[in-house]
């Protein structure tokens, strides 16, 4: 993966971040950029072996200054989320940043979505994000402050064949705004970020091949985005350059 940092090299030295879904796609790019800027990063998701291999691979990159650690966690399971936050505080002493990137959905016309499928998507993207925010607050940020970014999708004009995810992500954006107000006096900033359509091998594996090429046509840029471009926006919002920014929705691209 190429690293095209626009920030000064030691911006996040001494900081500790948790990136859910940090072993693949956009999450891996965020993790690498943070570690490149000196941050220690804990990546967390369900598939432990793939997660550990990703951490090993990223730690072998000589451009990385922070340490990357893998902790298995299904964000749908409250006990696992609690364990993640407690383990990070025990091992690293704090949680400066939380990037709720883990998530996804499947394509299906609304009338055909099964109850189990609906619940899986809502539990992952909405409840999982809520649990991570809540337990990061309880274990560290409520007393010490921090910065949270919730990765959503560009769902403002609907999310065709992904109604479950559109509804969940829209709810996450509103949750973000509420938590920004509730937690501002605790020194916590929280914003949501929607990637434009971003190609990665793992993302593409979940969709028919024409979904990404069709999406290219409606991008104002005329091309798909890269995981690194999302990582740059995330790092900006985590950085002191965005110290006055909270409760905001930001996107790397908008469909035309």
Ligand X SMILES: CCCCCCC/C=C/C(=O)SCCNC(=O)CCNC(=O)[C@H](O)C(C)(C)COP(=O)(O)OP(=O)(O)OC[C@H]1O[C@@H](n2cnc3c(N)ncnc32)[C@H](O)[C@@H]1OP(=O)(O)O
Planar angle of CA 217, 100, 143, nearest 5 degrees: 150
DSSP, residue by residue, 102-162: --------GGG--HHHHHHHHIIIIIHHHHHHHHHIIIIIHHH-EEEEEE----TT--TT-
Q: Between residues 37 and 44, which has the closer beta carbon with respect to ligand NDP?
A: 44
Give which of ligand NDP, ligand X, none residue 150 binds (C-beta under 5 to 8 Å, depending on kind).
none
Quote the least distance from Cβ 205 to ligand X, whole Å.
Answer: 8
The residues that bridge with 42 in the sheet, in sequence order, are 18, 69
Using CA atoms, how far apart are residues 243 and 28, in angstroms rounded to an integer?
24
CB-nearest residue to ligand NDP: 25
Q: Between residues 207 and 236, which has the closer beta carbon with respect to ligand X?
A: 207
Q: Which two tokens stand for residue 109?
A: 């016309």
Quote the least distance from Cβ 45 to ligand NDP, whole Å.
Answer: 3
Q: Between residues 93 and 158, which has the closer beta carbon with respect to ligand NDP?
A: 158
Quote the least distance from Cβ 84 to ligand NDP, whole Å.
Answer: 10
Residues that bind ligand NDP (CB under 6 A): 20-21, 23-27, 45-47, 50-51, 73-76, 101-104, 124, 128, 151, 153, 195, 197-198, 200, 202-203
Q: Between residues 32 and 200, which has the closer beta carbon with respect to ligand NDP?
A: 200
Helix crossing, 115-122 with 163-183: angle to 10°? 30
* Residues 6+ away with beta carbon under 8 Å from 75: 20, 44, 81, 100, 102, 124, 128, 129, 131, 132
Give which of ligand NDP, ligand X, none residue 7 binds (C-beta under 5 to 8 Å, depending on kind).
none
DSSP class of residue 250? Answer: E
Q: Which two tokens stand for residue 177?
A: 């705004």
Quote the least distance from Cβ 159 to ligand NDP, whole Å.
Answer: 9
Q: Between residues 197 and 252, which has the closer beta carbon with respect to ligand X?
A: 197
Quote the least distance from Cβ 8 to ligand X, whole Å.
Answer: 31
Q: Between residues 90 and 157, which has the closer beta carbon with respect to ligand X?
A: 157
CB-nearest residue to ligand X: 104
Give which of ligand NDP, ligand X, none residue 21 binds (C-beta under 5 to 8 Å, depending on kind).
ligand NDP
Quote the least distance from Cβ 109 to ligand NDP, whole Å.
Answer: 19
Using CA atoms, how far apart are residues 44 and 23, in angstroms rounded to an integer?
8
Phi, psi of 190 (to 5 degrees): -145, 130
Using CA atoms, how far apart are residues 191 and 179, in angstroms rounded to an integer?
9
Burial status of residue 178 (CB atoms within 10 A of its CB: 0-12, 13-18, 19 or more):
exposed
Q: Between residues 37 and 73, which has the closer beta carbon with respect to ligand NDP?
A: 73
Give which of ligand X, ligand NDP, none residue 3 binds (C-beta under 5 to 8 Å, depending on kind).
none
Using CA atoms, how far apart are residues 159 and 125, in angstroms rounded to an integer?
14
Give which of ligand X, ligand NDP, none residue 114 binds (C-beta under 5 to 8 Å, depending on kind).
ligand X
């Amino acid at each position: 993966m190429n690293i095209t940092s626009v920030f000064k090299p030691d911006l996040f030295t001494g900081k500790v971040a948790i990136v859910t879904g940090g072993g693949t796609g956009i999450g891996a790019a965020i993790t690498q950029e943070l570690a490149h800027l000196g941050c220690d990063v804990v990546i967390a998701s369900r598939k432990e072996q793939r997660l550990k291999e990703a951490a090993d691979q990223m730690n072998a990159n000589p451009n990385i200054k922070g340490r990357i650690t893998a902790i298995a966690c299904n964000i749908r399971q409250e006990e696992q989320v609690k364990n993640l936050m407690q383990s990070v505080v025990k091992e690293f002493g704090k949680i400066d940043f939380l990037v709720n990137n883990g998530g996804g959905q499947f394509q299906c016309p609304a009338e055909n979505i099964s109850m189990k499928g609906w619940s899986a998507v809502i539990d992952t993207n909405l409840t999982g994000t809520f649990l991570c925010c809540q337990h990061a607050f309880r274990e560290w940020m409520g007393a010490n402050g921090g910065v949270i970014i919730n990765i959503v999708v560009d769902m403002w004009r609907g999310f065709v064949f992904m109604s479950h995810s559109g509804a969940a992500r829209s709810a996450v954006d509103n949750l973000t705004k509420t938590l920004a107000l509730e937690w501002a006096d605790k020194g916590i900033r929280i914003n949501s970020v929607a990637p434009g359509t971003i190609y990665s091998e793992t993302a593409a594996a979940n969709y028919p091949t024409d979904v990404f090429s069709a999406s290219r046509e409606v991008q104002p840029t005329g091309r798909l985005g890269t995981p690194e471009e999302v990582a740059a926006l995330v790092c900006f919002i985590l950085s002191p350059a965005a110290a006055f920014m909270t409760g905001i929705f930001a996107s790397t691209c908008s469909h035309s």
